[in-house]
Amino acid sequence: MSWFDEIPSIATDSTLAAMEACKADTHEKKVDLSPGIYHDDNSSTWVLPSVKKAREVLLADKSLNHNLQPQNGHPGLVSVARELTFSDTLDGRSIASMQAISGTGANHLVARFLSDVLQPKTVWFSNPTWENHREIWRHVNPAINQRNYPYYDDRTSTIDSQGMLSTLRGHASRGDVIILQACAHNPTGVDPSRELWEAIAAVCEEKGLFPVFDSAYQGFATGNIDNDAWAIRHFATRSNGTMEFAVAQSFSKNFGLYGERVGALHIVTRSNESAAKAEAKLKKIQRAEITSTPSFGAKIVATIVQNPALREQWQQDLQTMSGRLQDMRKRLYDELTKRNTPGNWSHLLTDIGMFSMTGLSPKRVAVLRNNFHVYLLPTSRLAVPCLTTGNVEYVAESIHQVLTV
């Protein structure tokens, strides 16, 4: 008998399962619309020109080494992570910042930190949300109650703002944690307006909630890093800068550094003493889990942001990516509407970021996969960057057939 015989069966992550199923599919027209990875129009993972140039700069540096980094991470990365997130809005506010293992690691680190320090009874997620949000908090502390606040209205493909605000006002309690996505909401592609962000911030203050921003797509929503950080900066400056919150930041998408696992965590506090205590606790957690963060990807990000020419190229790269996503949304919308495909597809033109919801039932998602070899997540989420000029007509026709035959 094995020590491990009693491990219960565990369901496979739906995104990874869809990717593996598509990989095993030998059909010549198969299309994988499940991964949250930016692809170019040749279905290849794009290496940003700014990243290529930064690598050349680093590799030409004879002093480049592979020493351990400081416990906070690569100093240049931590500095530019703060600047990209907050710009000049902190105005002397006390903050603890750490490099993390991409956005997933940052989300795990803040969940571990808050579970230990705040000991919240409940963590609130948007309905729907990135599926790993729930897994991270369940893994960190299964005793913390997980609840949903209304977010996406399937009937209108818009945000249920009244449902969200009334649920939080009526049921959230002081000390609860609320997970917010800063921009390019995963999986819906629908973000709050600035007026709604102001209302969300007011509810957080009124109820004494601790907000955690997941900032995974800065630059993908509008192509402008400042626009995409507006919500975070609003929280940093409202009420004379007294609001405490956290930001889990990823550089996987906006720099195309998926495999380098570059991220950061920021804890915004009310005093230098509080920030110092938070930093000491974060260091203790990091020491036990990873000791030191990876350096090469961090140095790439720092090199790009600190070099004016490379930063300008990076901003052009963001425009290239966000522009292609907008083009693919328009192409899919045009192909569906010219076929008179049942449903309202106008949200494709206003959704932003990597994802949109197709509204297909799980049964129809399965038919799409089995009969047409087009892979979505069971939730019906479609990854827009996986559309190309070569497959968008086939995808639209396949969706049309599933909805009409």
Calculate the CA 390 to chain-centre distance.
27
Asked if residue 70 has a cis previous peptide bond (ω within 30° of 0), the answer is no
Instruction: Encode burial over 308-341: b for 16+ CB neighbours within 10 A, e otherwise.
Output: eebeebbbebbebbbebbbebbebbbbbbeebeb
**Contact predicate 211/235, CB 8 Å:** yes
Q: Is 3 a catalytic residue?
A: no
**Contact predicate 191/352, CB 8 Å:** yes
Q: Is 253 a catalytic residue?
A: yes
The closest of 279, 286, 282 to 94, measured between CA atoms, is: 279
Catalytic residue, from 160, 214, 228, 351: name it: 214
Catalytic residue, from 253, 317, 345, 351: name it: 253
**Contact predicate 363/334, CB 8 Å:** no
d(C-alpha 135, C-alpha 120), whole Å: 17
Structure tokens at 88: 């000049």
d(C-alpha 293, C-alpha 304), whole Å: 19
Q: Is 357 helix (H, G, I), strand (E, B) or coil?
A: strand
Catalytic residue, from 46, 53, 124, 130: name it: 130
By the 10 Å C-beta count (0-12 exposed, 13-18 middle, 19+ buried), 405 is classed as: exposed
Structure tokens at 304: 């790009």
Q: Is 207 a catalytic residue?
A: no
Beta carbons within 8 Å of 85's beta carbon, 6+ residues apart: 215, 218, 229, 232, 247, 249, 264, 266
**Which residues form the catalytic set?**
130, 214, 253
